[in-house]
Amino acid sequence: MKNERDVLEFQGRAWEFWGRVCLRCRRPAATLHEILPRSIHRLWYTEVTNSVPLCDNCHRWAHGAGEAGRVELQAKVKDWLEHEWRPEWGTE
């Protein structure tokens, strides 16, 4: 990422792609969570499917769940893409 403006632009695209509903529990989302952390996934800002919306409770859960949390969230992303994705969403 070049600067903070680029990060904010990417986050805007991610919010637009997902909406403001927690991917895990369907409550209102409070934050975007990177499934693969930025330290591991150097190009995290290129994939909106890695930055998922979570409510505060699920975000705390995700930070404590480790690999099991990543697996669960990746499965949720796959399920969402297979069943809810529409072509006009998130096209980049």
CB 40 within 8 A of CB 51: no
Would you kindly state where each structural domain of the chain is located, as residue ranges? 4-83
Tokens of 83: 């069943």
CB 49 within 8 A of CB 77: yes
Q: Is 50 exposed, middle or buried (0-12, 13-18, 19+ CB in 10 A)?
A: buried
The pLDDT tens digits along the chain (92 residues) read: 567 888 889 999 999 999 999 999 999 999 999 998 878 877 777 788 999 999 999 999 999 999 999 999 999 999 998 887 554 444 44
- The closest of 42, 57, 65 to 74, measured between CA atoms, is 65
